[in-house]
A and B are shown apart, each in its own frame.
Chain A
């Protein structure tokens, strides 16, 4: 937690980080210098320009980024953009550079298209791997791939599935499931392993590698083995034991869990909440209680597997809309409601539910919540918002995307999220009206049958949640939220400046960097490990074949120095491996932290 002390000191000075490490003197001096710079409209400069004049947005940001004086820089930039735009437009708000929230969101979200030759190469590379794999399979079937003592049985696995995992995925299998032997904090310690048989099996070498951790979902940096959270959790474990060996409905309920539910409800500003021991199960085991066969669900195409499983178990009719595409969402909603339930002779649906995530973990994009809420109201649908990645990480109070957009949380019918990520614990919650939660208490699979949350795990959530809310009497929570927002913007802008293609929204701490080629996923993960950086790769089937990517997850625990180091290494790696695909103009100026 050493980093925190450093950055808290930074906040303590009234001037904030007036003297920035990349040396720009006082803000006033900057004012006079900067107008001379010529912005070549790089991805993120424009955004800054627009945002500062959009007052509401600026205000929300101000709170979270006072340290680097956005208003001063903004003023200057706003002026520059105003002069640029005055000529082209007569509308006063546009003259000020103000954009509608949708346009602003669109501007902040980037999904740059892949260059044609890269696309061709990607497919070619993939097919080459497949062909090599087939040849490999013809020549060599290892012992582990044959079933013992089950002759005459129908083959257990689908042929392609087992081929893919054995002969394609195995080639870069070492990039996943890497064992660690430390706290997954700002840094982690990898246990080194080697393979003698091309990925069929691994052996530990006995050595360890200390890496900067850009892979774990430790958004607010609550993963720690020391400090208040760990102390209180340990105390609770000694007090209440490690488990209850019973479900909530039998002998697994205690005052601590009731407190946690009340606190969760208060955290989100809703009436009531219910908590479960596993985030995945929160979706998979509660959606079936809420939906039935005569319901229509409109689900984002990039929704998480747990949602898809829950929907499958519910028996509802699932319609998918294009990722974060509001026009498509409206089309699907309209069409679905007008056509009615085809299986039931076109009768109206008993319920229509929209399911979206706050931050999409593979895309790094943020849901366009205000528009979703508007559509939901227009079409009388219900809204289920999965904030697995956004809770804690978004909004000036860390309450997720409702906080970020200043949307009334009561407009979202069901708020769902996990405690795994920002809270550094495990489990999940559902929050909403008292009526909803009472219904879940009497109908939820997980509530009735699954074991209740372990006391130290629940304590970690309680402590970290209170810290975020500031109820511990310190500014730690607020500082963490600010630090994360700052890290996110800095890291994303610097990456854009390097010329790599990143996906998603500029405020999303999940940063996917596109590498496209299957083999490059492995190459990047391995290279970065040798340079002591731990990152996550994702390829087919987790993403489309075309879109192999590396994912960085930022954390409030990271310091600027750590991010600078990572960026420097990424820069070199991107040069070596040819990852600078972006054709957007780059910002030639140093990005400020």
Chain B
């Protein structure tokens, strides 16, 4: 009897504990709560003058020249670094592919959405990067955003540069890991944080044994145009037993002698990097993205990369365009040098604006123009930059202010005009563009 009573008491305690949070209502009370419940509107009112509501309309094929809102412009805004969007051969091969496979793939990779072109592309990327396995995604944004949570889980720690692009930030969110941001390209700051973590691990060695550690960086940062200090990062990776993921959405096909990205640029063995991801929406001038690495790592995404498993595969004609782009990479490796020369040239010329300051690495095809004299807030800066961009477009140079969802970024990004360098630009064109931007910005600012 005593035992039963004891059980009862324990039961009551538990029930009470639960009941503390849960309120009980009679049916009438419930009805009145529901009657009185007033939800917020589904979405708030949108300011009709919101900058993102106004989008420019492109009315031509995108290439070195572009027609924006009716103005024929020199294109310094599309991320078509190698100029492959204008390549007639690639277009022909893509159309041939369309005539063989149709437009859509009508299924995810697992369910008859895998076509021989997908396998060929994966094989070709792996071979090009001299790694074991590549995996192709159907959307650039979802590539790294799916890759990170495939490995990093709750309880793990991810060290990440604070300037990473939004897609990586979403991957970090989805992983539910502990995120530690270090200052942009500041290896000392990263090391300081790693040492701090080491101290914490000493206090709790049991937990430390189960905590996976990752380091995430971009080859060239979309938001700043800087190249990451990869040799130092790799050294830290070895010392602190981190796994390093590098997103090469911009650096793939632009850096290095053969366009193999930041690893080739620094001459680092690619096996030192655990996973390389990249969008194909830049230098390859198509849609989608890929991850490449050792078989052990990359293969895992075929069962765990959410954006890979649950999404329809990349339309075959766009896959073919990527294969054809790789053909060009291998056949004409001089295109990378041409691009780098242009990037360097543009860097040199664009460094002399009187009211704008150029940021980004001199070899990077992505550069940012900030106001030389910072204003009191981001909004005011953005408004001025939009005005500059509009007037530049009216005068025949297509530049755009970089679009951000400021309140959704993990910290606000300073507004800028993002310049994308095209391989096909000529020095005279860059100089002419400089003149126009200079005269517009001097007048506006």
Q: Which residues of A contact B (CB under 8 A)?
A: 144-150, 152-158, 161, 165, 169, 176-185, 188, 191, 213, 215-218, 222-226, 229-230, 233-234, 237-255, 258, 277-281, 284-285, 289-290, 304-306, 309, 312-313, 334, 337-339, 342, 346, 348-352, 378-382, 413-414, 418-421, 423-426, 435-436, 438-443, 445-451, 454, 456-457, 460, 534, 536
Closest residue to B241 on the A side, CB-wise?
A153
Q: Which one of A306, A349, A457 contacts B310 once the chains associate, using CB atoms below 8 Å?
A: A306
Q: Are A420 and B212 in contact, CB atoms less than 8 angstroms apart?
A: no
Q: Which one of A234, A339, A414, A450 contacts B95 once the chains associate, using CB atoms below 8 Å?
A: A234
Q: Which one of B100, B114, B174, B281 contacts A309 once the chains associate, using CB atoms below 8 Å?
A: B174
Q: Are B39 and A380 in contact, CB atoms less than 8 angstroms apart?
A: yes
Q: How far is the CA of A350 from the CA of B100 in the complex (A)?
A: 51
Task: Give me the 5 closest cross-chain CB pairs, A-B, nearest first.
Answer: A249-B403, A280-B311, A439-B43, A278-B139, A450-B141
Determine the chain A residues whose CB is within 8 A of the CB of B100 once the complex forms: 182-183, 225
Q: How far is the CA of A79 from the CA of B111 in the complex (A)?
A: 44
Q: Are A251 and B312 in contact, CB atoms less than 8 angstroms apart?
A: no
Q: Is B5 an interface residue (CB 8 A)?
A: no
Q: How far is the CA of A225 from the CA of B101 in the complex (A)?
A: 6
Closest residue to B418 on the A side, CB-wise?
A250
Distance of A341 from chain B, by nearest CB (Å): 11
Q: Are A445 and B39 in contact, CB atoms less than 8 angstroms apart?
A: no
Distance of A166 from chain B, by nearest CB (Å): 10
Distance of A480 from chain B, by nearest CB (Å): 15
Q: Are B211 and A250 in contact, CB atoms less than 8 angstroms apart?
A: no
CB-CB contacts below 8 Å: B42-94 with A: 42-46, 48, 50, 52-53, 55-59, 61-63, 66, 68, 75, 77-80, 85-86, 90-91, 94
Q: Are B21 and A180 in contact, CB atoms less than 8 angstroms apart?
A: no
Q: Are A304 and B310 also in contact (CB < 8 A) when A178-B114, A182-B100, A240-B61 are?
A: yes
Determine the chain B residues whose CB is within 8 A of the CB of A149 once the complex forms: 271
Determine the chain A residues whose CB is within 8 A of the CB of B62 once the complex forms: 241, 243-246, 251
Q: How far is the CA of A413 from the CA of B58 in the complex (A)?
A: 31
Q: Are B105 and A184 in contact, CB atoms less than 8 angstroms apart?
A: yes
Q: Is B138 an interface residue (CB 8 A)?
A: yes
Q: Are A180 and B115 also in contact (CB < 8 A) when A253-B57, A352-B39 are?
A: yes
Q: Is B40 an interface residue (CB 8 A)?
A: yes
Distance of B203 from chain A, by nearest CB (Å): 17
Q: Which one of B45, B48, B79 contacts A245 once the chains associate, using CB atoms below 8 Å?
A: B79
Closest residue to A348 on the B side, CB-wise?
B37
20 more CB-based (< 8 A) A-B contacts, given A278-B311, A290-B43, A454-B287? A177-B109, A184-B113, A225-B99, A225-B101, A239-B61, A242-B287, A245-B80, A246-B400, A251-B58, A255-B59, A258-B57, A278-B142, A380-B34, A426-B105, A426-B314, A435-B46, A438-B46, A438-B48, A449-B167, A456-B317
Q: Is B11 an interface residue (CB 8 A)?
A: no
Distance of A327 from chain B, by nearest CB (Å): 15
Q: How far is the CA of A145 from the CA of B294 in the complex (A)?
A: 11
Q: Is B376 an interface residue (CB 8 A)?
A: no
Q: Are A251 and B398 in contact, CB atoms less than 8 angstroms apart?
A: yes
Q: Is B374 an interface residue (CB 8 A)?
A: no
Determine the chain B residues whose CB is within 8 A of the CB of A460 once the complex forms: 103-104
Determine the chain B residues whose CB is within 8 A of the CB of A239 once the complex forms: 61
Q: Are A250 and B403 in contact, CB atoms less than 8 angstroms apart?
A: yes
Distance of B33 from chain A, by nearest CB (Å): 5
Q: Are B307 and A280 in contact, CB atoms less than 8 angstroms apart?
A: yes
Q: Are A183 and B101 also in contact (CB < 8 A) when A278-B138, A290-B42 are?
A: yes
Q: Which one of B75, B138, B212, B282 contacts A426 once the chains associate, using CB atoms below 8 Å?
A: B138
Q: Are A245 and B106 also in contact (CB < 8 A) when A280-B142, A334-B34, A446-B141 are?
A: no
Q: Is B102 an interface residue (CB 8 A)?
A: yes
Q: How far is the CA of A161 from the CA of B299 in the complex (A)?
A: 13
Q: How far is the CA of A495 from the CA of B398 in the complex (A)?
A: 60
Determine the chain A residues whose CB is within 8 A of the CB of B140 once the complex forms: 450-451
Distance of B268 from chain A, by nearest CB (Å): 14
Q: Is B440 an interface residue (CB 8 A)?
A: no
Determine the chain B residues whose CB is within 8 A of the CB of A312 once the complex forms: 174, 176
Determine the chain A residues whose CB is within 8 A of the CB of B206 once the complex forms: none
Q: Are B139 and A450 in contact, CB atoms less than 8 angstroms apart?
A: yes
Q: Which one of A147, A230, A309 contacts B98 once the chains associate, using CB atoms below 8 Å?
A: A230
